[in-house]
Amino acid sequence: MYSRKGDVLDIAYLGGIVAGVVMVIFGIISSGGVSALGNFVDVPSIIITIGGSLTSCLACNKMPDFIAGLKGMTLAFKEPPIGDPTAVIGNIIDMANVARKEGLLALEESANQIEDEFLKKGINLVVDGTDADLVRAILETDMDSTEARHKKVIAFWDKWAEMGPAWGMIGTLVGLVNMLKNLSDASTIGPNMAVALLTTLYGSLLANWLAGPTSAKLGVNDAIEMSVRTVTVEGLLSIQAGENPRVIEEKLKTFLAPSARSGVGTPEEGAGGE
């Protein structure tokens, strides 16, 4: 009933990243043939572009934030782990009905079936009779904690998206200087310059194919998660205050992205807890 969507793939992100690679490979093959693919893989160029930009990110961040930033990429592949807001509101209205009919203590049982730690913690606080202000403070502290962690990860990817092209240009300048110092053999000019340009290409891909979209997607996910968490907190406090389930529903819907409002509380969504 209270399903978590943490392992549902974000097909837009996955599809976008994969299709981006396909586009680049298609571009290479269409202009240079399949044999040209090898021309676009140059390990030292990859090391200087990715490695260099990562070293700048490292110098910009505290070590734990750097590691958390790198790990954060996995989050972009998955839907936010808290289900969609419509379902969350449905759950809360169900619980409001239960609480109304059977008392707050009856929620304890529901809590055990919930996988989302945040909602579980909230229900337990409510069932334990914790003071409303303290429930809010504890849950909002938890939200702040999550959002601050997200923001640092997003900032990491923004910085990498900025540093990728910068180190791509550094790599190209290194290659150009080397090439210009050795112009005697004219036949090597072209290939050497090609290699020099690879770091600029890698840097541009890093920024526009990987790091930029990752930062954007993590930002979208954070907004969704925070909005659901806010709904959850307000809902739990309303249940604790013994408000009418219908009033709770109206109240919670105002927190949602408007387009998501219509689905809540309709029979198909199974809001009928009574």
Looking at residues 172 to 191 of the shown chain, list those that interact with a copy of itself (rule: CB under 8 A): 173-184, 187, 189-191
Using the rule CB under 8 A, give the single segment among 98-106, 111-119, 196-204, 225-233 that binds a copy of itself: 196-204
Instruction: Compare residues 1 and 25 and give the one whose CB is closer to a copy of itself.
Output: 25
Is residue 118 involved in binding a copy of itself (CB under 8 A)?
no
Closest of 217, 196, 205 to residue 164, by C-alpha: 205
- Interface positions, 41-70, toward a copy of itself (CB under 8 A): 44, 47-48, 51-52, 55-63, 66
* Cross-strand partners of 80: none
Instruction: Compare residues 229 and 253 and give the one whose CB is closer to a copy of itself.
Output: 253
Closest of 169, 223, 204, 218 to residue 70, by C-alpha: 218
Q: What's the rounded Cα separation, in Å, for the pair 93 and 114?
A: 15
Residue with tokens 């979208």: 220
Is residue 91 involved in binding a copy of itself (CB under 8 A)?
no
| Ranges assigned E (strand) in 11-77 | none
Using the rule CB under 8 A, give the single segment among 109-117, 118-126, 145-153, 228-236 that binds a copy of itself: 145-153
- Interface positions, 238-257, toward a copy of itself (CB under 8 A): 253-254, 257
Closest of 148, 203, 195 to residue 176, by C-alpha: 195
Is residue 220 involved in binding a copy of itself (CB under 8 A)?
yes
Task: Give me the least distance between CB of 101 and a copy of itself, in Å please.
Answer: 27
Instruction: Compare residues 104 and 210 and give the one whose CB is closer to a copy of itself.
Output: 210
Closest of 29, 47, 30, 49 to residue 38, by C-alpha: 29
Instruction: Compare residues 23 and 105 and give the one whose CB is closer to a copy of itself.
Output: 23
Q: What's the rounded Cα separation, in Å, for the pair 144 and 226?
A: 9
